[in-house]
A and B are shown apart, each in its own frame.
Chain A
Amino acid sequence: MKLLLAGGRIYDPQNGIDGVAGDVAIDGGKIVAPGRDFVPDRRLDVTGCVVLPGGVDLHTHIAGPGVNRARRLVASDPNPIVPEAPMTGLRYAALGYTTAVEAAVTPSGARQCHFELEATPNIDRGFLLLLANNTFLLELLARGERAAARDTVASLLQKTGAFGVKAVNPGGVALWKSQAGRVEDLDQKLGSTSVTPRAILELLVECAEENRLPHPVHIHTHRLGEPNNIATTIATSNALAGRRHHLTHVQFHAYGSDASGAHRSGAALLMDHFHTHPELTMDVGQVMFEEALTLSADLALEHLLWRITGRRYASIDVELESGCGMVPFRYMPRSRLHALQWAVGMEIFLLCKDPWRLALTTDHPNGGSFLVYPKIIHLLMSRDARAEALRSADGQAIRATCLPDLSREYTLQEIAMLTRAAPAKILGLAHKGHLGVGADADVTVHDDLADRERMFRHPRHVIKGGALVVEGHELRESVDGQTFRARVAPSAERERPLRDWFEAHGSYSLSQMGPAETRLEAMLPVAASGPARGARK
């Protein structure tokens, strides 16, 4: 269908369009030039409305064995925070989000993840592969076989159809599983080996560069949630200085401490570092005072949360690869720590001078459901809304931040960056996050309301791949999305170390890993633009 959105106010940061009235033309799932030659089958008059590219969620948990386990944990809740896959796709569409990346899947869980992603309509999607606690990779590192380790990463990416590499608490999960303590420091030796978290991160970054992954290594640093973890976070980024890397849900990793050892905000320190390191990208992981569910490969953290809350809990150790733990949770405004977490997230947004390198996330469902995005947008765009929220939050926590002094109000163009253009760019998806000719026809149209939460919660129209899935604020249609994967093509020879190891230690045949060839072929391969970095040694 040829569709013309006529007369809307367009916000398209990628193409330098900031609230200019104009038309958006769509043909065959792509944005085309709205010239005289374009004769639409359908014309929607959106005069006075705000027109944006479809939303891009670069870090969410919506598919894979861990997420599915979490679904069962909350299945009896009246409105489960982790809904079934079809409902997930409907909810994203209803919010104007058309692309999402599942942020943590083990190699052995990849195949189920693809099933679930295919059952999630209305979004294009991919997933990140958990590799920083993989026993075989750690063995190769211990033996100094870096080339074999890089080959193994390439093989695993290719077999699983993953989009990128994820590092959760590098080495720390393996250490917890073997009851050999916890990681406190990047240069700490893991158990009796010479492997350090620093070496793991360097290896994974090398792999991302050599394989020209579109998205840099996606890092959940050590000591999540602990006082003074900002030092670890900055040290981790410094270890990778000059090389592209992405720090995820940084709100959880941006705490200082006061004289008594209690949490303080470390947001200002983090943002000072961010502004001087252009190779660094981040997403926030904002928490909201709502129901949440902590879900992470950081097994020690999840165990701690269970001990604190005593609520439902599941923990799974997975195939010498990683693990997954989960605990339902609720953030309370009167809790000092929770209020501080909320405020630190807000500070990160409001102190950011370069929204091109920052993405809005809640680490769904860890900080809250993605359904709270409109509320976050409203808070960022309204000083008054923040003042109102501050009144209900724990005062001591707020005094440990600079949030009350931050008067900034985000503009629509900046919101378009945080939620569309920046995450697409950080992911390396050139066809997403903008409305230029050739981009995917993922578009949202919003009524221009003073109540920004309402405005973003109920888009007037949502177009996904050229299909009008939301029309007049109502879901009309559900369409299949596309899965994208990293374009890597390791040779059979490069797979050999992994094959040999799997032969000895795998509990199933390596040939069974990942989706079928036909499914892999149906995915969209994506590579970084420009030449690969790093010579093979």
Chain B
Amino acid sequence: MSAPPESELEHPNAVCAGCGCLCDDIGLRVRGPTVAGAERSCPTGREWLLARGPLEPAARVDGKAVPVEKALTAAEARLRAAGASVVLGLHELTVEAIAEAVLLASTLHAPLLPWPPLPSGLLRSGHHAPECTATLGEVRGTADLVVFWRADPVRTHPRHLERYSGDPKLVSGGSRRVVLAAADHGGAGGTREGVHLPLPGAAHGAELDLDVIRWIRCLLEKGQVPAGSRSPTLNAATRLRDELSKSRHAHFFLGEGCSESPALLEELQLLAAKIRPTTRITVSALPPAGNSRGVVEALTWLTGSPGSALRPNWLLESAATDLVLALGAPPAALARSRLGLAAGRPRVTLGTELDAEAAVSIRIPGLDPRLDATVLRSDGIALTLCGRTGPRGARDPAVDLLRRLTRAVSPQRAGSKTPASLPGAKA
């Protein structure tokens, strides 16, 4: 019996969106409609990549499998009939599809809400406190001190250390890079690569973390801290101050939990800005999975702002809202929003999984590495999902699906040119 045919190495430099690192060196093997192998990927990435299904959309209406064309017609009818729609999601759409989603929301006069909501720290950054940050290439090339603050990159972003922050590739020729894992527990992933810097317990984390940062500033600016400072936090601050004093460029990566505490980010940024002429500190968050940065950037250049002044929950629960259009919303985020969505609002979804509870659901490939479409890394570097060195990838079907919905609800009706006020929405 002959062995099954080997899958082809179709995209030698594909991008993995499994954790937010956006490794762009994945050797992607494709067999038929599925991803069969992913060379150089980490366990997290492999799990994500191998779960990619067919690129061709599939659809359900009222829970029953139907041809996509029929689902589109049903979606168009729902959109036309809706009095007040809300468009939410976007994180699992490519930049090209986000532009179409903006156009659709604009045509529907519907609020457009990134879902899950973007971190408030990101939206406030630069307003209440300065922002000093660096792209990952700058960190890789110049940071001789990297601090993971309440983060465990080995667990959450397995290749981060290899690609950006651990392996010293300093352009100055130096080979010394100190990696500190600032956390309240030993044995975390970060400590396997670096030095564990004990922080006070997470239960009181936010306030005590702020103390540590404030005291570092006192130590750097005045050489001492106020009397009565507590020892665990003072120890951490002193240790960090010592490392910062030896460093030419220190970069802080904040863990996921820190995004809930804008005060910590702001205190760190303020420290960075104030001491910039003598000590170079830059700060960023460890990236979430998906295309959050693409959402932020595309919404900003297309609408002027990435966020809405409206509170999503209020909108979802409002009696006036009679249709929820979920576009590229991560399934887990949709599940979390069930409270708001369960109040009898019909839902139309375009997402990476079919939504059994939606009136109309169309499965799209999202951020599939076989697509010739754009995703933005957490620091804003734009990448083509399928890479640029192999055969050309597939066009993102979400672009055409969204464009068709826009035409259907446009006052000019189907077949007419889409409104010219948002010309960036072209593919």
Contact = CB atoms under 8 A, between A and B. Distances in A.
B323 to A, nearest CB: 26
8 contacts: A71-B304, A80-B304, A121-B420, A179-B278, A504-B169, A505-B169, A509-B13, A516-B384
B372 A516 contact: yes
Interface string B389-427: 100000000000000000000000000000011111110
A228 to B, nearest CB: 22
Interface in A272-315: 303, 306, 312-315
A115 to B, nearest CB: 7
9 smallest beta-carbon distances between A and B, as pairs: A119-B424, A507-B137, A319-B137, A84-B304, A478-B420, A317-B134, A313-B130, A111-B382, A75-B305
A320 B387 contact: no
B45 to A, nearest CB: 16
Contacts of B383: 508, 512
A383 to B, nearest CB: 39
Contact of A118 (B131, B139, B303, B424): B424
Interface string A98-141: 00000000001101100110111100000000000001000100
Given A65-B380, A507-B135, A511-B388, A178 B142 contact: yes
A84 B142 contact: no
A315 B172 CA distance: 22
B17 to A, nearest CB: 14
Contacts of A83: 304
Contacts of B134: 316-318
Interface residues of B, number: 66
B136 interface: yes
Interface string B108-148: 00000000000000010111001111111111111000000
Contact of A112 (B131, B278, B380, B426): B380
Contact of A303 (B277, B301, B387): B277
B421 A478 contact: yes
A15 interface: no
A65 B389 contact: no
Contacts, number: 187
Q: Which of B126, B169, B172 has the most CB of A within 10 A?
A: B126
A164 B139 CA distance: 28
Contacts of A303: 273, 276-277
A140 to B, nearest CB: 13
A76 interface: yes
B133 A65 contact: no
Contacts of B301: 63, 68, 71, 84-85, 115-116, 119
Interface string B150-193: 00000000000001100001011000000000000000000000
B382 A119 contact: no
Q: Which of A76, A85, A177, A508 has the most CB of B within 10 A?
A: A508
A85 B273 contact: no
Given A177-B280, A320-B141, A71 B305 contact: yes
Q: Which of A63, A477, A509 has the most CB of B within 10 A?
A: A509
B389 A509 contact: yes
Given A86-B424, A516-B372, A511 B133 contact: no
Given A72-B126, A314-B125, A314-B133, 9 more contacts: A115-B424, A119-B301, A119-B424, A120-B423, A121-B423, A320-B137, A479-B420, A507-B164, A509-B24
A345 B212 CA distance: 48
Contacts of A119: 99, 301-302, 422-425
A371 to B, nearest CB: 16
Given A119-B99, A177-B142, A511-B388, A319 B302 contact: no
Nearest to A117: B424
A429 interface: no
A87 interface: yes
A108 B379 CA distance: 11
A506 interface: yes
A516 B395 CA distance: 13
Contacts of A524: none
Nearest to A192: B172
Contacts of A319: 135, 137-138, 381
B313 to A, nearest CB: 21
B171 A135 contact: yes
Nearest to A322: B138
A258 to B, nearest CB: 27
B387 A512 contact: yes
B97 interface: no
A316 B387 contact: no
A83 B420 CA distance: 17
A457 to B, nearest CB: 22
Interface string B193-224: 00000000000000000000000000000000
A73 interface: yes
A46 to B, nearest CB: 25
B161 to A, nearest CB: 13
Given A72-B126, A112-B382, A320 B142 contact: yes
Contact of B421 (A65, A69, A86): A86
A480 interface: yes
Nearest to B134: A317
Contact of B140 (A76, A480, A507): A507
Contacts of A516: 372, 384, 388
B253 to A, nearest CB: 14
A315 B132 contact: yes
Nearest to A71: B300
Given A179-B278, A320-B138, A84 B126 contact: no
Given A111-B382, A118-B423, A317 B376 contact: no
B36 to A, nearest CB: 22
